Amino acid sequence: MAHPQVVIGVDSSTQSTKALAVDTGTGRVLGEGRAAHRVDSRHGQESDPEQWWDALNTAVAATGWADRAQALAIGGQQHGLVTLDAAGRPVRPALLWNDVRSAPQAAELVQEFGAQWWAAELGSVPGASFTAAKWAWLRAREPANADRTAAVRLPHDYLTERLTGHAVTDRGDASGTGWWTPDGPHPAVLARIGLDPALLPAVAPTGTPAGRARAGGPLRPGTPIATGTGDNMAAALGLGLTAGAPVLSLGTSGTVYTVARTRPADPTGTVAGFADALDNWLPLACTLNCTLAVDRIATLLGRDREAVEPGGTAVLLPYLDGERTPALPHASGLLHGLRHDTTAGQLLQAAYDGAAYSLLAALDDVLAVDRPAGTTSAAGTAGSADTPDPAQPLLLIGGGAQGPAWQHTVRRLSGRPVQLPAARELVALGAAAQAAALLTGEPADAVARRWGTADGPVLPALERDDAVLERIATTISQTAALQSGGR
């Protein structure tokens, strides 16, 4: 019997590293490994990149296939600022995507160039999460560390370079920096934030390898290493996502995205104009507060996370870490509409509703990127084959996707059917598909479609709860000024 051709896909996330050994022929997971990370939240959201490397070695070894894998790729958390000295050592802990200390720098960048300019020139209006804002923060607050920096990397770049010795990145993850364009880093942005382009990795062409594994890592020397990509781009690969198919991911943060053929350009900043890991685009909206925030509310109420109750008039906005969508980086949680007869279960349901609302409100903007001119919404006129279909199931992924309360909330507030892909660890699977593509010559998304990663049960649509949607929208509008102030 022939031995399977095996690749390893890695998901280096905020809190842990996961690795999957996958049969390239069938997509069957043959081995898994995991190792935790520590996040330092004393001043912002920081993490030591050296522990990511240690966790990568541990997780890959735990798959049981490290010495036999024929290729590997890494999907990593987006936006994080990794600064290295001349010896390749971290200058300071990495600033993670959810560190909002750079919000003033992001606001200054938007004010100086204008939101329309950012949308037209770079496809995204930068917020606090974008790497450009984080570098501007470092320049302003820790100039000595900025001066010591000899290389600037994203988290997945750092790990890929440790494996191969080559400083390369991919268009997908690079598009979340705030300086990437298809023609190279934008000189006006780099000049404004004081970043030398020589400090940046090269962007490898789609489908090309980053290099081969060196001695001293978890793999056999010479093993091909794909360029890898950002976590959202890897998850899109892991689903084999096609243009216009909507995705809602429920994790520590929440995201909605799709694959588009048109470059996004949203001057409101709601939709980030990311590139995907192939040759298309990945319009995406993200919230900072999702499953972790709702679980925290459940703990405060002394209830199990599934112990929700219908009814009531309360609105609970669980903006426990500030918020990205809407753009309220200094916001905190807010409870409105409390009555004598409000129950704890209703408050918990209100937290679910508040967390899901912003994602679903942004979904139509995400899907509108490829919408023909003259159409009004996903529920409106079908102008072409690319016009989003409101009856198309919403792919529900992430840690919260298996929770009945999350499933019911998303169906109730979206009015859409919901599909639950049976595949788990989609970021690692997407990275595995990228590694497999090096061996088979297929596009990585075609590999995932061949594996059937998006297959799963479809839950029927529910009637949309417009009363709750209107109540939340009104509360956000009325309290925006209060929520925009500093801490």
Distance, CA of 276 to CA of 175 (rounded, Å): 9
pLDDT at 469: 97
Q: Are residues 141 and 189 in the same domain?
A: yes
Q: What is the CATH number of the domain that holds 290?
A: 3.30.420.40
Q: Are residues 221 and 261 in the same domain?
A: no
178 contacts 131 by C-beta, under 8 angstroms: yes
Distance, CA of 263 to CA of 123 (rounded, Å): 7
Q: How confident is the model at residue 4 (pLDDT cuts 50, 70, 90)?
A: confident
* Biggest CA pair distance of the chain: 69
pLDDT at 212: 98
User: 145 versus 376: which is more confidently predicted?
Assistant: 145
Query: What's the Rg (C-alpha) of the chain?
Result: 22
- Tokens representing residue 383 in the block: 């102008």
Residue 271 lies in a domain: yes
pLDDT at 379: 35
Q: Which of 157, 173, 231, 353 is catalytic?
A: 231
Mean pLDDT of 347-370: 94
Query: From the DSSP assignment, how many helices (H) and strands (E) are in the chain?
Result: 15, 22
Residue 125 lies in a domain: yes
From 233, 259, 276, give the residue that closes a domain: 233
295 contacts 274 by C-beta, under 8 angstroms: no
From 233, 266, 293, give the residue that closes a domain: 233
Q: Are residues 165 and 210 in the same domain?
A: yes
Q: Are residues 157 and 266 in the same domain?
A: no
- Beta-strand relationship, 254-257 and 247-250: antiparallel
Q: What are phi and psi of 429, to 5 degrees?
A: -65, -40
Taking alpha carbons only, the member of 215, 204, 226, 180 closest to residue 74 is: 226
Residue 442 lies in a domain: no
Q: Are residues 15 and 124 in the same domain?
A: yes
With a cut of 80, say whether residue 385 has pLDDT above it: no
Q: Which residues pair with 229 in a beta bridge?
A: 75
Mean pLDDT of 2-20: 93
To which H or E segment does residue 33 belong?
strand 29-36
Q: Are residues 360 and 478 in the same domain?
A: yes
pLDDT at 372: 62
Beta strands per DSSP E along 185-280? 202-203, 209-212, 224-226, 229-230, 247-250, 254-257, 272-275
pLDDT at 216: 94
Residue 433 lies in a domain: no
Q: Are residues 265 and 352 in the same domain?
A: yes
Q: How far from 136 is each of 155, 286, 372, CA to CA, in Å? A: 18, 22, 37
With a cut of 70, say whether residue 73 has pLDDT above it: yes
Distance, CA of 189 to CA of 278 (rounded, Å): 25
Q: How confident is the model at residue 288 (pLDDT cuts 50, 70, 90)?
A: confident
With a cut of 60, say whether residue 378 has pLDDT above it: no
Residue 406 lies in a domain: yes
Residue 443 lies in a domain: no
Residues 6+ apart with CB under 8 A from 392: 244, 245, 246, 416, 417
Q: How confident is the model at residue 381 (pLDDT cuts 50, 70, 90)?
A: very low
Q: How confident is the model at residue 322 (pLDDT cuts 50, 70, 90)?
A: confident
pLDDT at 384: 38
Q: Are residues 208 and 270 in the same domain?
A: no
pLDDT at 373: 55
Predicted structure pTM score: 0.89
With a cut of 50, say whether residue 442 has pLDDT above it: yes
pLDDT at 2: 65
Dihedral angle over CA of 377, 383, 388, 389, nearest 10:
100
Q: Are residues 222 and 256 in the same domain?
A: no
24 contacts 7 by C-beta, under 8 angstroms: yes
Alpha-carbon dihedral sign for residues 97, 98, 104, 109 = positive
- Tokens representing residue 45 in the block: 């959201």
340 contacts 325 by C-beta, under 8 angstroms: no
Burial 472-487 (b: 16+ CB within 10 A, else e): beebbeebeeebeeee
How does DSSP assign 383-420, residue by residue? -STTSPPTTSPEEEESGGGG-HHHHHHHHHHH-S-EE-
Q: How confident is the model at residue 329 (pLDDT cuts 50, 70, 90)?
A: confident
pLDDT digits (tens, 9 = 90+) for 447-481: 999 999 999 999 999 999 999 999 999 999 888 77
Q: What are phi and psi of 61, to 5 degrees?
A: -60, -35
Mean pLDDT across the chain: 93
Verify cis geometry, omega within 30 degrees of 0, for the bond prior to 388. Answer: no
Residue 440 lies in a domain: no
What is the Cβ-side half-sphere exposure of residue 19, based on CA atoms within 13 angstroms?
Answer: 31
Q: Provide the number of structural domains found in the chain.
A: 2
Mean pLDDT of 318-342: 89
Is 231 among the catalytic positions? Answer: yes
Residue 168 lies in a domain: yes
With a cut of 80, say whether residue 486 has pLDDT above it: no
Taking alpha carbons only, the member of 298, 383, 390 closest to residue 347 is: 298
What is the Cβ-side half-sphere exposure of residue 160, based on CA atoms within 13 angstroms?
Answer: 35
pLDDT digits (tens, 9 = 90+) for 75-118: 999 999 999 999 999 999 999 998 989 999 999 999 999 999 99
Distance, CA of 11 to CA of 74 (rounded, Å): 6
With a cut of 60, say whether residue 425 has pLDDT above it: yes
- State which residues form the domain around 293: 239-424+454-484
pLDDT at 391: 77
Burial class of residue 57, CB neighbours in 10 A (0-12, 13-18, 19+): buried
Long-range contacts, 84-89 (Cβ 8 Å, 24+): 84/149, 84/150, 84/151, 84/152, 84/153, 84/158, 85/148, 85/149, 85/150, 86/150, 88/151
- Chain-centroid distance of CA 443 in Å reads 21
pLDDT digits (tens, 9 = 90+) for 168-188: 999 999 999 999 999 999 999
From 233, 260, 291, give the residue that closes a domain: 233
Q: Are residues 172 and 314 in the same domain?
A: no
Taking alpha carbons only, the member of 485, 476, 426, 416 closest to residue 245 is: 416
pLDDT at 382: 33
Q: Are residues 257 and 224 in the same domain?
A: no
With a cut of 50, say whether residue 270 has pLDDT above it: yes
Q: Are residues 221 and 256 in the same domain?
A: no
